[in-house]
Amino acid sequence: VVKDAFWDYVAKATARISQSADTVNQYVVALRTQVAPLTQDFMTQFTQEAERLKARLEKDVTTVSTSLQPYAEELVAHLQRQVEELRKGETLKAVLLQKSQELKAQLDKSVNQLQAQMVPYTEEMKQKMEQSLEEFQSSMIPLAQSFETQLTQKTQEIQQNLAPLGEELKAKLDASAQDLQAQLAVLWESQPLTIPHTWSFG
C-alpha cells in the first residue's frame, strides 16, 4: 500500500512536469512566430541599403580617369564581394559595425596599392568611396538597433511569461509531496503492532 502511494505521487508529479513542458514549448513557438517577421523586415531593409552602396561605388568609379579604370574596377569588384558576404552574414549591430570596418580596411589597403600607380587620382577616389561606406554604415546602425531592441523585448516577454510557470510547478510538486507524507503517516498509524506467535517466555 505504501509503495502504491509513492508511485501515485510519482505519476502525478510526472504529469505536472509534462504539462509545464508543453506550456514552455508553446511559448517558444510563439517567440519564433513573432521574431520571424522582424528578421525578414530587417533583412529586406539591409538588402536595399547594400544595393544602394553598390550603386554609389559604381558611380564613384565612373569619375575616375580612364587610366585608372582597370585598377578601380578590380577594387569595386572586391568591395562588392565584401558587401555580398556582409549580406549573407549575421545582422546584429556589433557584427554590422565589424563588417563595415572590415570593408573600410580593405578599401584603404587597395587604395594604398593604387597610390603607387596613380597618386593624383587615388585620394579623390578614396574620399568618395569612404563617404559612401560611411553613409551605408550610418543608415544601417539605426536599423540594427531597432531590430536588436525588438528582439530583446520579445525575449523578455517570453521570460516573464515563463517565470510564474516555474513557481507554479514548484508549488504543485510541494503540495503533492505533502499529500504523500500525510498518506504515508496514515498508513503507518493504521498498521497494528503485533508480536510474532513464535516468541515464548519462561
pLDDT digits (tens, 9 = 90+) for 158-173: 667 666 766 666 666 6
What CA–CA distance (Å, rounded) separates 63 from 76? Answer: 13
Going from N- to C-terminal start, the domains of the chain cover: 2-189
Q: How confident is the model at residue 46 (pLDDT cuts 50, 70, 90)?
A: confident
Architecture per CATH, domain 2-189, reads as: Up-down Bundle (1.20)
Backbone angles phi, psi at 64, to 5 degrees: -85, 150
Task: Of 32-46, 63-77, 154-168, give the range with the top mean pLDDT.
Answer: 32-46
**Whole-model pTM over 0.85:** no
Residue with cell 505504501: 2
Res. 11: pLDDT tops 50: yes
Res. 79: pLDDT tops 50: yes
Pick from 143, 136, 73, 72: nearest CA to 104: 136
What CA–CA distance (Å, rounded) separates 132 from 181? Answer: 73
**Quick one: pLDDT at residue 192?**
47
